[in-house]
Amino acid sequence: MRTAVRNLRAASFWAAIVLPVTYLPLLAGGLGGAEALLFVSLVVVNAGAFVLGHEYEPSDDE
């Protein structure tokens, strides 16, 4: 169980770092109807990744 929680935290930590890159094409192309919904969804997912990955310590990988 600890391994599963640790893996979830690690994936969430790295997702929180990488997800903002996906905002750039959306912002560059403008936020129409569907793009605005996708942008808001990505921000919500990114916020969730921040919360879940908050306690992950990359230096603990061994």
In total, how many domains does the chain have?
A: 1
* Six token digits for residue 48: 């969730």
Is residue 51 scored above 90 in pLDDT?
Answer: yes
Give the residue, 40 or 31, on which the prediction is more confident: 40
In the numeric block, the tokens 């600890």 are attached to 2
Is residue 61 scored above 70 in pLDDT?
Answer: no
Task: Report pLDDT digits (tens) over 22-39.
Answer: 888 888 888 888 888 988
Segment 39-47 shows an average pLDDT of 92
Q: Is the pTM of this model over 0.85?
A: no
**Positive or negative CA dihedral for 52, 10, 49, 51?**
positive
Residue 53's domain comprises 2-60
Give the residue, 48 or 32, on which the prediction is more confident: 48
Q: Are 42 and 22 in contact (CB under 8 A)?
A: yes
DSSP state of 54: T
Q: Are 20 and 49 in contact (CB under 8 A)?
A: no
